[in-house]
Amino acid sequence: MKKELTRQQHLDLYYLMRLNRAVEDTMVKLFRQNKIVGGLYSSLGQEAISVGTAYALEKKDWMAPMIRNIGALLVKGVPPRDIFMQHMAKYDSPTKGKDGTSHFGDLENLHIVSPISMLGDLIPVMTGVALAGRYLGQKIVAMTWIGDGGSSTGVFHEGLNFAATQKAPFVLILENNLWAYSTPVRKQVPLENLADRAKAYGMDSYIVDGNDVVAVYTTAKEAVERARAGEGPILIEAKTFRRLGHAQHDPAEYVPKEMRAYWEARDPIALYEKFLTSEKLLDARGKKDIEEKLDTLLEKEREFAENSPLPPAELAETGVYCTGDDCHRIRAKWERPIAEVTPPKSSVEAVWTVPGFGAGQGSGGADAPMHFGDTRSEAEKSGSEGRLAGAGKPAAKVAAKATAKKTVKAAPASASRKARR
């Protein structure tokens, strides 16, 4: 673990991980009391990933957490009561009881997109968020998470490939917790490192020890800033382990005892505590203060949640459509001149025209305009050679110009790669 973070950052990370775990511990109790309506999924042992990655985002950034990213929601500012109420299907929950678990979002303030149960779908959605942000000039980054299992879906491929072709400011956290329900990762993906999947898309990737919150945070921070700077999407594989079953009902007896023991000895909170103590950033008193703070907070939040009623039955029939304008308050927030994306400035001229090609409508060979990607050629930039509209221009020369300045940046050897050994 590194010490470059400020004391406050260290304490934030520690507090947020403790909060993450305490919120989930509270929910286990609620579950055992039959107060949770559906299933309960745990991120026990994976808190460093949710917290460390989300902590790397700025307020304006967007994220879409998956089921085991309660920590990310907390980092973004979701109050624990919302998470409790979601699980308890309460009327005051963000979805008013229409959906459970971490399936909720907030478009207007927190910039959180709700997940759905079908894995991978968030990848193209968050790519779209990233592209819209870039289009509007907002300089945002979009982040979402996926598991080792979710990385087998078709939409994982479609989404990442599209994000990469667009160089979208998008960061994907691939939480490799070794188990997809009962299926071990080796039956899911025939790769040692899931980060290798990024190569297929020409994307950069990192591998990080998912139980080391500082490594997770610093890696995520670097990835987020590179994505923000326009370097394209980045994938981070965080190696970790799912300590409990798929959900509460699953005792996960298929997990070898040795594997469980190994990872239990590497609990991310215990590891961090040890580090903080040795660095004198945290002492017994500080720890106790945090625990008391959490107890008080969660007691209050739990009580509020428990007192919220179930939704009135008739609510089931409402809200399928957005009718009128008051249900859609999202307006494009322009942070660049609109003139840049409206004619005449947006207009594109063909790099050249090809006689007889693409006339399409049976007209038998009018000149067709040809375009080469969204990068302006050097000639266009300097403006000296004009638009090369002459039909006789040799193809190879122009094409070469349009692509010449592309350089491929080698994947950075991350600090955390070393941590993995």
Partner 1 sequence: MAETKRARTNGAAAQGTQVTFLEAIRQAMFEEMERDPAVVLIGEDVGVYGGAFKTSEGLLERFGWERVIDTPISESAIIGAACGMSYLGLRPICEMQFIDFIVCAFNQITNFVAKGHYLWNAPAPMVIRGPSGGGVHGGPFHSANPEMYFVHTPGLKVIYPSTPQDAKGLLKAAVRDNNPVLFFEHKFLYRRIKGEVPAGDYTVPIGKAVVRREGRHLTILSYAAMMHTSLEAADALEKEGIEAEVIDLRTLLPLDEETILQSVKKTNKCLVVHEDTRTGGIAGEIAAILFEKAFQDLDGPLVRVTSLDTPVPYAPTLEDYFLPNAKKIFSAAKELARY
CB 54 within 8 A of CB 77: no
* 310: contact with partner 1 by CB under 8 A: no
Return the range that interacts with partner 1 (CB under 8 A); candidates 2-10, 13-21, 97-105, 274-282. Answer: 97-105
Which residues in 183-222 contact partner 1 (CB under 8 A)?
none
CB of 334 vs partner 1, minimal distance in Å = 8
* 232: contact with partner 1 by CB under 8 A: no
CB of 308 vs partner 1, minimal distance in Å = 17
Return the range that interacts with partner 1 (CB under 8 A); candidates 9-17, 154-162, 215-223, 246-254. Answer: 154-162
* 395: contact with partner 1 by CB under 8 A: no
* 399: contact with partner 1 by CB under 8 A: no
Using CB under 8 A, which of 40, 113, 198, 255 touches partner 1?
113
Helices (H), 55-93: 70-76, 80-88
Kindly tell me the burial class for residue 374, based on how many C-beta atoms sit within 10 Å of its own C-beta (0-12, 13-18, 19 or more).
Answer: exposed
* 152: contact with partner 1 by CB under 8 A: no
Beta bridge partners of 207: 237
Of the two residues 171 and 255, which places its CB atom closer to partner 1 in the complex?
Answer: 171
Using CB under 8 A, which of 49, 63, 131, 180 touches partner 1?
131
* 104: contact with partner 1 by CB under 8 A: yes
d(CA 266, CA 269): 9
Using CB under 8 A, which of 11, 38, 110, 114 touches partner 1?
114
Of the two residues 95 and 211, which places its CB atom closer to partner 1 in the complex?
Answer: 95
DSSP 91-123: TTSTTTTSS-TT---BTTTT-BPPP-SSTTTHH
Of the two residues 60 and 199, which places its CB atom closer to partner 1 in the complex?
Answer: 60
CB 145 within 8 A of CB 156: no
Cα–Cα separations (whole angstroms), residue 181 to 17, 101, 187, 250, 252: 24, 17, 12, 9, 8
Q: Which residue is listed with tokens 């307006």?
A: 331
Whether a cis peptide bond, with omega within 30° of 0, leads into 369 is no
Return the range that interacts with partner 1 (CB under 8 A); candidates 30-38, 173-181, 256-264, 318-326. Answer: 318-326
**Which segments of 185-293 are extended strands (E)?**
204-209, 234-239
How many positions of this chain bind partner 1 (CB under 8 A)?
A: 71
Beta bridge partners of 239: 176, 209
Return the range that interacts with partner 1 (CB under 8 A); candidates 29-37, 151-159, 263-271, 285-293. Answer: 151-159
Which residues in 29-68 contact partner 1 (CB under 8 A)?
62
Q: 106: Cβ–Cβ under 8 A, 6 or more apart, which residues?
A: 78, 94, 112
DSSP 196-216: GGGGGGT-EEEEEETT-HHHH
CB 88 within 8 A of CB 30: yes
* 312: contact with partner 1 by CB under 8 A: no
CB of 106 vs partner 1, minimal distance in Å = 8
Which residues in 350-389 contact partner 1 (CB under 8 A)?
350, 353, 358, 360-361, 366-367, 369-371, 373-374
* 127: contact with partner 1 by CB under 8 A: yes
